[in-house]
Structure 1
């Protein structure tokens, strides 16, 4: 292989690797509680999130405190939650009184929500820069 081809191969490999960086990966510790689609816990429209998204039992969704929206957890962001499988989508936002907090959607399963309780967890997401 000529020196030119080798150099070209190295340059292409470096460009590929640099494009795969985790520069946009964000992590933070938050308080995490759980909620269900019961009127007593939400509003008169318990299957509709604050942005108007439909919430369905079985879906992996979370509500976020409004300060987290400013940190990049915008509507539709995929979030990995310590201790849970898969990724959860930001589909709802919480009352302004909460900070550094997420609420995990549990459909109609009140027992699962109570069993979860309140925990401190680490969350991870990709911050999409505009």
Structure 2
């Protein structure tokens, strides 16, 4: 016969084991952000437009994003993280790598790298998307 003490012991052990088993697993995060596009041209960046904030060299065709500083500080994203973006279509679907940082004035914002195609970046405009990492 189970006593209340035995029952509680079994329940607590089960909860503890589940907690320990999932402790090392990273939970997926997601957040709704504003997405714009940018290019590696000096008019949009600085005198070294192909070099991102952490020193990575950007080349057309690379699926990279720049993120606002709050995504670094408050949400735990960092250089090299892989990010999936919901709300994209066509050739933009896929996984992106965080390789650049945005000016500190921006909040909940990403910039999608579009090489040197300024026309395409302007056509992209500004959209609300959800990022997953």
C-alpha change, 1:53 and 1:23, in structure 2 (3 Å) is closer
Equivalent residue pairs, number: 109
For residues 91-121 of structure 1, the C-alpha deviation after alignment (integer angstroms, 9 at most, x for no partner) is 0000010010000000001121011100010
- Shift, 1:50, TM fit: 0.6
For residues 35-91 of structure 1, the C-alpha deviation after alignment (integer angstroms, 9 at most, x for no partner) is 001100011000000111110100000000000012121000000011141100000
Counterpart in the other structure of 1:114: 122
Unpaired runs of 5+ residues, structure 2, are: 1-17
- Shift, 1:24, TM fit: 1.4
Counterpart in the other structure of 2:100: 92
In the alignment, which of 24, 41, 59 is matched to residue 56 of structure 1? 59
Larger Rg: 2
TM-score when normalising by structure 1:
0.78
Unpaired runs of 5+ residues, structure 1, are: 1-14, 126-130
User: What do you get for the CA RMSD once the two structures are aligned?
Assistant: 1.9
Q: Give the helix-richer structure, 1 or 2.
A: 2
TM-score when normalising by structure 2:
0.76
In the alignment, which of 77, 102, 106 is matched to residue 81 of structure 2? 77
